[in-house]
Structure 1
Amino acid sequence: MKNRGKSDLKLAWVLLFPSVFLVLLLVAYPMISNIKISFFDLPINPRLDATFVGLKNYTDILTDVEFIKSLGITVLYMILAVAGSTALGLAVAIFFNRPFKFRKAARSLIILSYVTPSISLVFAWKYMFNNGYGVINHLGVDVFHLFDKAPLWFDNPVSSFILVVLFAIWRYFPYAFISFLAILQTVDSSLYEAAEIDGASTWEKFKNVTIPAIMPVLITIITLRSIWLFYMFTDVYLLTNKVNIIGIYLYETAFAFNDLGKAASISVILFIILSIVIIASRKRVKFNGNG
């Protein structure tokens, strides 16, 4: 039995080795290398020596007003986009959690914004809001006369921020929709019938039956979407240059100002922030699961 146990252990290590090696190569090594770089002033030219600066990169970043401002914009963007996409996804999932004609076709149309490549969606939005020939300005100026002249939507920081938030809500609500619809279809309909017999209103049925049933999925969706949007870069960068979220700030620090040490320290700080959020959310999910 002992020999068999040892042979099984060896076989397990042999089978696990490729996965463990890839994790170490693609995750652990870059992470350790990034932490190391954050303590150096690293020149772009590989022939020049890096200068050890200790915690200077971290202190410079944490005292940089632009970093704090960028972090605040990112948090606000993340909160609004996550709240909007989650609420919209839940509302649409509740509406679709019943039989009606052409339901399958309607579901396919809803998830189009999620499966379509971002580059196509971004340029479609930029086309719609173009001040010269965009359909939004045509409707606002020529049809409904809401504006005296076509607004420069993506040239104004406030309107740009509103549009990138709306884009994120529309782009990512299908993920919440799919997740909520899957969990809603597992809820026993007799619970709603019992609540209705007790005289519960629509809001009371939603609060006492629907919310407890979807709570683990809700927390998971909020956590994952918050992580993804916290690191958002592509959508905002392609839409406008007026919304300096943390992903763009990090990109410019590394590749516009060629300050790789500060860029590495930014990524480490963000990793610490997200680690705290993930640990807290995991405890919350476990608490709700046990409850």
Structure 2
Amino acid sequence: MRVSIPHRLLGKVCVMNRALRRQQIRVAYLFMLPGLIFFLTFQIYPLIKAFQISLYRWEIMPGQASQFLGLANYLRAFQDPIFWLAMRNTALYTLVTVPGQMVLAMVVALALNRLVWGRVFFRTVYYLPVITSWVVVSLLFKFLFNSQAGLINFVLKDLLHLTPNYIPWLQNPGTALIAIMTLGIWKGIGWSMVIFLAALQGIPVELHEAAAIDGASRWQRFWYVTLPIMRPTLVFVLVMLTIGGFNVF
């Protein structure tokens, strides 16, 4: 049995669908507008303004004219050995902290994903360092890595007897960088953990059950089921952590 629909009615339906689609698009852009304004105001504009200032010998005192230098500031920076030292330290910091944060955050997310009780509590505890002020956590780590009365030296020398003397963590450039890396990893685990945990909770349980029935071990289920599904999330976290690592410069 065939039902014929008049062409005039079909045309009205198409027009209504297009109008509804345009209305949905306008609503979507309306919801995007606050975020776009925030992004343009606090991200794009400061970036453009910073590039403009970098082309001048910028005078901060009112009434004094700034001198246009072009790319001279960049040429001077590239010829400065301190610049390359800072770049090396920043690259080393990023190469260590990004994998460290991702691996530890994945371990914590996997552990929390298996919890039935207390998941919200532990998720909040692990996320607290992310929202804690850098000033507060810096003072905390300054106390922990103190060369005389620090908790780290107490554990290594007095408790475990792993070192003959107290380590001057913050007085030596090499050990100071290790302390900064430790701080960066500790403070950033919570952010990656929350994203990984959300991705893990979005994986259908049926996939793991089917893999378990086929004889896959827990590690095989993680490697062949969990990681491929989480690949977009892993790439996003990797990019964001890399950008954040180089922002330390």
TM-score, structure 2 as length reference: 0.77
Which one of the candidate residues 208, 211, 233 is aligned to 1:192?
208
For these two proteins, the number of residue pairs brought into alignment is: 226
Residue 193 (structure 2) aligns with: 177
Which one of the candidate residues 151, 158, 162 is aligned to 2:167?
151
Which one of the candidate residues 83, 102, 112 is aligned to 2:128?
112
What value does the CA root-mean-square deviation take over the aligned residues?
A: 3.1
1:18: how far off?
Answer: 8.8
Which one of the candidate residues 50, 56, 75 is aligned to 1:40?
56
Residue 14 (structure 2) aligns with: none
Structure with the bigger RCO (C-alpha within 8 Å, sep 6+) is 1
Per the alignment, do residues 45 and 134 of structure 1 end up closer, same or farther by CA in structure 2, a change over 3 Å counting? same
Q: What letter matches 1:102 in structure 2?
A: G
Which one of the candidate residues 92, 103, 110 is aligned to 2:108?
92
Give CA deviations for 1:100-122 in whole Å, capped at 9, x if unaligned. 44343333322232233222222
In the alignment, the residues of structure 1 paired with residue 30 and residue 204 of structure 2 have an alpha-carbon distance, to the nearest angstrom, of 45
1:87: how far off?
Answer: 0.9
Q: Gapped runs of 5+ residues in structure 1?
A: 1-7, 233-245, 247-291
- Contact 2:147 2:170 survives alignment (8 Å): no
In the alignment, the residues of structure 2 paired with residue 70 and residue 62 of structure 1 have an alpha-carbon distance, to the nearest angstrom, of 11
Give CA deviations for 1:189-208 in whole Å, capped at 9, x if unaligned. 12112222222233321121
* Secondary structure, counterpart of 2:230 in structure 1: helix
Which one of the candidate residues 46, 51, 62 is aligned to 2:78?
62
Q: What letter matches 1:82 in structure 2?
A: V
Per the alignment, do residues 23 and 83 of structure 1 end up closer, same or farther by CA in structure 2, a change over 3 Å counting? closer
Q: What letter matches 1:226 in structure 2?
A: T
Per the alignment, do residues 15 and 143 of structure 1 end up closer, same or farther by CA in structure 2, a change over 3 Å counting? closer
1:80: how far off?
Answer: 1.3
Are residue 204 (structure 1) and residue 220 (structure 2) matched?
yes
Per the alignment, do residues 149 and 28 of structure 1 end up closer, same or farther by CA in structure 2, a change over 3 Å counting? closer
Q: What letter matches 2:82 in structure 1?
A: E
Give CA deviations for 1:136-177 in whole Å, capped at 9, x if unaligned. 222222233222221111111111111111111111111111
Are residue 121 (structure 1) and residue 121 (structure 2) matched?
no
In the alignment, the residues of structure 2 paired with residue 183 and residue 19 of structure 1 have an alpha-carbon distance, to the nearest angstrom, of 23
Per the alignment, do residues 18 and 54 of structure 1 end up closer, same or farther by CA in structure 2, a change over 3 Å counting? same
Q: How does 1:1-291 map to 2 (within 5 A)?
A: 29-232=45-248, 246=249
* Secondary structure, counterpart of 1:80 in structure 2: helix
Q: Gapped runs of 5+ residues in structure 2?
A: 1-22
Per the alignment, do residues 99 and 72 of structure 1 end up closer, same or farther by CA in structure 2, a change over 3 Å counting? same
Q: What letter matches 2:86 in structure 1?
A: S
In the alignment, the residues of structure 2 paired with residue 215 and residue 17 of structure 1 have an alpha-carbon distance, to the nearest angstrom, of 29
In the alignment, the residues of structure 2 paired with residue 144 and residue 51 of structure 1 have an alpha-carbon distance, to the nearest angstrom, of 60
Residue 6 (structure 2) aligns with: none
Per the alignment, do residues 19 and 98 of structure 1 end up closer, same or farther by CA in structure 2, a change over 3 Å counting? closer
Residue 261 (structure 1) aligns with: none
